[in-house]
Amino acid sequence: MFSIKKLVNFMYSKVFFLYQPKFYYGELCAYEALLRGVFYEGSIIYYQELMSKHKKDLFFNYFIINKVISDLVKLNCSGIRKHPVSINISAKFISTLIDVGQLDLQKINSFNLKLEFNITEDEKINDFDVCNKNISLLSSFGISVSLVDFSAGISSLERLSYLNNIKFVKLDKSLTDNIENNPSQLFQLETIYRLIKEFKFEVIAKDVETQDAYYLLIQLGIGYFQGFKFGRPLLIP
């Protein structure tokens, strides 16, 4: 059988991760594994495009999850390993009953890895009942689930109402970009933030580029941040 690992190696000369730090009121609290691929001619492909190319392939999700686990175990990254590390997964993956036999649970337990799966907004969740069952299953293994790239659209709001036991909701950049110069956008964000908090989910703001925007978000009550302003992604040798 042509395995997903062989397929990925056939398409790309290298698949790797950068680890971007997350901060809680200025204190390092977690990392996100950012997927990257290198084509044989040397060009870089980013995780959004990689996930889009493979969004219908469930085994690609298992592949990248287990690759992050292997990285955390084998590489000299104990400083990262002691913090939660989030991994982006597709909506199709979380909407299909998870085959736990495909996950390297032994390494997760042996090395006390703290993992979080991020549901990306590149496609719709097909079955919220299955999704919530998966979230409960993953929770039993100590793996939390979050929703990323949350925007002001109807589909994003619908997800909030149907999902249970989500840990974080990461705001899309469109909600925070230039808010220091746009009072109506700030009001919209404040309304969305209060709605998310009604569901008892924590909120992460990403790609905040100015100090003024940072202060405004803190005043709203947002304490979790991620982006170049706070910490650049790390390449683990």
Number of Cβ within 10 Å of residue 71's Cβ equals: 18
Res. 216: pLDDT tops 90: yes
Q: Encode pLDDT of 186-213 as tens digits.
A: 999 999 999 899 888 999 998 888 889 9
Res. 41: pLDDT tops 70: no
Residue with tokens 């302003």: 229
pLDDT at position 150 is: 86
Q: Encode pLDDT of 130-173 as tens digits.
A: 999 999 999 999 999 999 888 766 567 778 889 988 999 999 88
Greater confidence, 26 or 6? 26
Please give the domain boundaries of the chain with CATH numbers for all domains.
Answer: 14-226 (3.20.20.450)
Backbone angles phi, psi at 206, to 5 degrees: -120, 160
Q: How confident is the model at residue 13 (pLDDT cuts 50, 70, 90)?
A: very low
Q: How confident is the model at residue 16 (pLDDT cuts 50, 70, 90)?
A: confident
Could you tell me the end-to-end alpha-carbon distance of the chain, in angstroms, rounded to an integer?
Answer: 32
pTM of the full predicted structure? Answer: 0.86
pLDDT at position 2 is: 40
- Which tokens in the block code for residue 38? 């290198």
Element (H, E) at 234: strand 234-235
pLDDT at position 234 is: 82
- For residue 163, the Cα-to-chain-centroid distance in whole angstroms is 16
Q: Identify whether the C-beta of residue 90 lies closer than 8 Å to the C-beta of residue 117.
A: no
pLDDT at position 99 is: 95
pLDDT at position 52 is: 63
- Distance from C-alpha of 192 to C-alpha of 175, rounded to nearest angstrom: 9
pLDDT at position 83 is: 93
Q: Identify whether the C-beta of residue 38 lies closer than 8 Å to the C-beta of residue 12.
A: yes
Greater confidence, 47 or 201? 201
Which residue, among 29, 33, 48, 37, has the nearest Cα to 11 in the 3D structure? Answer: 37
Number of Cβ within 10 Å of residue 230's Cβ equals: 17
Q: Encode pLDDT of 21-32 as tens digits.
A: 999 998 999 999
Q: Encode pLDDT of 50-106 as tens digits.
A: 666 666 678 888 988 999 999 898 866 568 888 999 999 988 899 999 999 999 999
